[in-house]
Amino acid sequence: MGRKYFGTDGIRGPVGQFPITPEFVLKLGWAAGKAFARHEGKCRILIGKDTRISGYMFESALQAGLSAAGADVLLLGPMPTPAVAYLTRTFHADAGIVISASHNPHEDNGIKFFSGRGTKLPDEIELKIEELLDAPMSVVASHELGKASRINDAAGRYIEFCKSSVPTSTNLSGLKLVVDCAHGATYKIAPSVFRELGAEVIAIGNQPDGLNINSGVGSTHMGEIQRAVLEHRADMGIAFDGDGDRVLMVDHLGNVVDGDELMFVIATDLQERGLLSGGVVGTLMSNLALELALKARQIPFVRAKVGDRYVMAEMLERNWVLGGENSGHIVCAQHATTGDAIIAALQVIRALRRTGRSLAEECQTLQKCPQVLINVRFSGGHDPVADPAVMAACDAVTERMAGRGRVLLRKSGTEPVVRVMVEGDDAARVREYAEEIAKVVSDVCA
């Protein structure tokens, strides 16, 4: 059954444009309160947010809607998305809500939900919320209104949780890290985690003003952290996105290390310690080199559709403990129920400390195939991916590559763009083919 409001990762869009308006979010809070209500009509829901300025507005709207439905609210303030998943579990809440547009600029915002177990919502709950959104809004009796309170030690609880994902004997003294928080939700927590474990931390992107989230820094803008790693002669850099569920890294030479490479490091470490249950789940965007490198180590690899919910579903079905995307969204299921950037970074560092090798050395085995990704913006109801001209262009490129590469087109689930990806063994031709297809997509979108 198709969804009217929910996308692959909650509800997202430009602030002030439907559905990302105060009126809609008020109703969404009410609908969520009704959908999660237990048999006695009450429920308890956590709300966390990233640092974008519109979070204040939407936090208030959600709180009002939830209270009108009779739901009690626990406010976390600025908090990484995986922290909300964790705290929802530990407070035995019925659900957690995150106000965030992840890696998008401050002009966008969104609402995403976690179940009481800290996992993505089951389809039936999303559909129930959508059904209630189209129903008239009502308010419970005055004595049944929900109450709101603030959790003042939320950050400390989550910091300890992150540290618990590595042995208590872990000591990062002598390690110099550049940590880029994207002026987002990790701006206090991430530097604290690594400092408390003994590392020397140079923090950048840690001065949020409500408008600078993901602006020129973070995992979608790696130039700043590359420069900082070289300038400070750091051992590595760690770059988060605005809500702290994605991580990319930079080695001591200034090279970007993406999610595929980080998963390879983690998978290799787990295998050598006898803790890799099954294999690794990647996506259609995962570089072919990851699949080949894992195969060489007899580690099974499967591809899910792009999106963390699809990665998680595949992991759960196979009972595997590691999966993720090349964008840096990595799920370490032995520690967390969702993608957690800080925990993933800690697993990489733990692997490096065990082997004594640098991040650059660990990634040498993975010789990535040239891959070009071009985003083409579109609007309206026309589906450019299904356009005959676009399909013909993709078929033509695939034929010319003669089995030495692949083409993937997909619409983003989080923003109005078509992602054109071409991968092959010749970097120049891969770029040429990607630009050729992107031009056709752009033409049909014009």
Q: What is the pLDDT of residue 2?
A: 64
Rounded to an integer, the average pLDDT of 311-333 is 96
- Round to whole Å and give the CA distance between 71 and 78: 21
Q: What is the mean pLDDT of residues 131-141?
A: 96
pLDDT of 1 over the 60 cut: no
| Tokens found for residue 45 | 């829901």
Percent of the chain with pLDDT over 70: 99
Domain spanning 258-340+355-368: CATH 1.10.10.10: no
For residues 446 and 83, give the distance between their C-alpha atoms in angstroms, rounded to a whole number: 41
Read off the pTM.
Answer: 0.91
**pLDDT score of 382 more than 90:** no
Q: Which of 54, 67, 100, 102 is catalytic?
A: 102
**137: pLDDT confidence band, cut at 50, 70 and 90?**
very high
Q: With a cut of 80, say whether residue 63 has pLDDT above it.
A: yes
Residue 213 near residue 182 (C-beta atoms within 8 A) = yes
Per-residue pLDDT band at 3 (split at 50, 70, 90)? confident
398-439: pLDDT as tens digits: 999 887 789 999 888 777 899 999 999 899 999 999 999 999
Structure confidence at residue 380 (pLDDT): 65
Q: Name the band, by pLDDT with cuts 50, 70 and 90, for residue 163.
A: very high
Place of tokens 């966008």: 108
* Radius of gyration over every alpha carbon of the chain, rounded to an integer in angstroms: 22
pLDDT value at position 302? 98
Where along the chain do its domains lie?
11-151, 173-256, 258-340+355-368, 371-445
| pLDDT 10s digits, 200-256 | 999 999 999 999 999 999 999 999 999 999 999 999 999 999 999 999 999 999 999
Pick the CATH number of 371-445 from 3.90.180.10, 3.30.310.50, 3.20.20.30, 3.40.640.10: 3.30.310.50
Q: 11-151: which CATH architecture?
A: 3-Layer(aba) Sandwich (3.40)
Please indicate whether the domains covering 173-256 and 371-445 agree at the CATH topology level: no
Q: Is 102 a catalytic residue?
A: yes
In CATH, 173-256 is 3.40.50.300: no
Among 172-186, 342-356, 417-431, the minimum mean pLDDT is found in: 417-431
* Assigned token pair, 20: 């990302």
With 80 as the cut, is the pLDDT of residue 300 above it?
A: yes
